[in-house]
Structure 1
């Protein structure tokens, strides 16, 4: 299938402000784009693209004073499958983990896995390690936190979300990430587009969202504690240790956001022979080079 995805953010800056933005599709999915999802600005300004330490694409620019708009618009090809499930995936002993996964076992700014370790083992220690234990974490977090956009708070950590029992998708994800790391499962925080393709009508056009990936059975797997159900048309933009690593926009000055739109809509159905040729059976591996979210 073909999915049109993109975003538009409008600002009113009092003076020129440097920015770093993460709005481009992750390099692991760029081969599926029909054309590059080039950052567009109004008025036009130079944009320098670089990769951060996790391999995410970042745009560096200076926004001028006054009205400024930045966004992307692209079409991506997708197999149209829901997030895969692999209940047979086993947890690796720490000593057998690839070196590059170890950083995703450590506590981070929003995911205090060290402080939540005792609680993690109390809640989930009786569940056999592997896929089932991670799903148990997601089930618990999904039921423990009440969702509401009005609960969004940029300083809320995993411990805060656990204590307060409310939040948005980043809070669901931070708590589940912290629990999984405390249980010795490498877990990374992901952000990107989530579509409502295949979901009951009526539904919105799409949104930015947070979810997580865990390393089991020799590869990374998607888990979504906020929705806690496989989705169609999930497209990653960036991953890191937590939300501090992957802000959609980072401004080095005031950031008066006055408009915000996101879309991720199915636009055309390909026949089966075309769909089979789009992507391999397994997702492409991440390259080794170094908000509002629902």
Structure 2
């Protein structure tokens, strides 16, 4: 399958403003790029790309002041497979976890595990360890929070999501991640593209999506507390401890969002069928031969 993804995002700044952008497809999907993942900047400014400590591709610019627009349109190859389900995946003892996985057990800006630990053990302490426990957390969060695009709040933490019981996909992810970490299950935040592929289309404007991954049986598995079902066509842009680490834009000065458009759609290939040539009547064929 091929998926066409991209964005057009504009900001207004009062003067020269340094910015860091995290808008590229994650490097681990580099081999799936059919067309180059190139960011177009209008007006053109110097840009520097680097890979951060979580392995995400970032772009540094200085917005000159006024309107600046970042855009891209990328064709990505995808297997078309749904998220993997592995009910037998096992939870590791903390002492057996790899060193680079340990940070995803700790509290972070939006995943305030210290305030949710007692609640997590009360809710999930009796569930079987491993995949079943993570799925119990996902089921709970999916039913506990009401999705409301109009109620997005960039300051809402996992505890706030738990008490307010409303939010957007990042709030579902933050609460589920916090509960997993409270139960000694490493969990990391993901952001990227997730189109309406294989599911009924929804009328809401397209946006980047948030989900999370947990470390079980020696590898990372995808979970999505908002949708709570395996999906097709996830394209990761960035991973981190929470939304702080994967912000699509960070400005070091005022920057007002002036335009935000995202697209991610399956490319439906036109059907090609060999059209057999009809035999001409014998007399016509003879005339043609002459």
User: Under a length normalisation based on structure 1, what TM-score does the superposition of the two structures give?
Assistant: 0.89
Provide the residue aligned with 2:216 in structure 1: 216
Distance in structure 1 (CA, Å) of the matches to 2:205 and 2:171: 22
Query: Aligned residue for 1:199?
Result: 199
Cα distance 1:29–1:205, how it changes in 2: closer, same or farther (>3 A)? Answer: farther
Which residue of the partner structure matches residue 279 of structure 1? none
Q: Can you give the 5+ residue segments of structure 2 that lack an aligned partner in the other structure?
A: 272-290
Secondary structure of the corresponding residue to residue 115 of structure 2: coil
Single out whichever of 164-173 and 205-214 deviates more from structure 2.
205-214
Q: Does 1:7 align with 2:7?
A: yes
- Tell me, yes or no, if the aligned pair for 2:196 and 2:202 is still in contact at 8 Å: no
Which segment drifts farther, 48-57 or 196-205?
196-205
| CA–CA distance in structure 2, aligned partners of residues 198 and 52 of structure 1 | 33
| Alpha-carbon distance in 1 for matches of 2:13, 2:128 | 52
**Distance in 2 (alpha carbons) for counterparts of 1:32 and 1:207:** 21
* Cα deviations by residue, 1:98-148 (Å, 9 ceiling, x for unpaired): 111000000011101122111101000111000010010000001000110
Instruction: Determine helix, strand or coil for the equivalent of 1:115.
Output: helix
Gapped runs of 5+ residues in structure 1? 272-294
State the secondary structure of the residue aligned to 2:113. coil
Alpha-carbon shift at residue 30 of structure 1 (Å): 1.1
Q: How far 1:270 sits from its partner (Å)?
A: 9.6
Q: Who is 1:158 aligned against?
A: 158
Contact 1:92 1:217 in 2 (8 A): yes
SS state at 1:260 partner: strand
Q: Does 1:56 align with 2:56?
A: yes
Moved over 6 A (4+): none
Q: Secondary structure at the match of 1:211?
A: strand
Counterpart position of 2:103: 103
1:82 match:
82
Q: Against the structure 1 CA distance between its residues 32 and 270, is the aligned structure 2 distance closer, same or farther, given a 3 Å change threshold?
A: farther
Whole-Å separation in 2 of the counterparts to 1:139 and 1:43: 46
Residues of 2 paired with 1:193 and 1:242: CA distance? 17
Aligned-pair RMSD on alpha carbons? 1.4
Equivalenced residues, count: 271
In the TM superposition, residue 206 of structure 1 has moved relative to its aligned partner by 4.2
Contact 2:8 2:72 in 1 (8 A): yes
TM-score normalised by the chain length of structure 2? 0.91
Displacement of 1:149 in angstroms is 1.1
The CA distance in 2 between the partners of 1:221 and 1:206, in whole Å, is: 25
State the alpha-carbon separation in 1 of the partners of residues 201 and 110 from structure 2: 34
Contact 2:116 2:179 (C-alpha < 8 Å) held by counterparts? yes
- Residues 33-44 of structure 1 correspond to what in structure 2 (within 5 A)? 33-44=33-44
Aligned residue for 2:129, secondary structure, equals: coil
TM-superposed deviation, 1:203: 5.1
For residues 269 and 215 of structure 1, the distance between their equivalents in structure 2, rounded to whole angstroms, comes to 36
Shift, 1:35, TM fit? 2.5
1:22 is aligned to 22
**Aligned residue number for residue 280 of structure 1:** none
Distance in 2 separating the partners of 1:170 and 1:240: 13
Give the 3-state SS of the residue equivalent to 1:73 in structure 2: strand
**C-alpha distance 270-139 of structure 1, shift in aligned 2 (>3 A):** farther
Alignment of 1:74-153 (within 5 A): 74-153=74-153
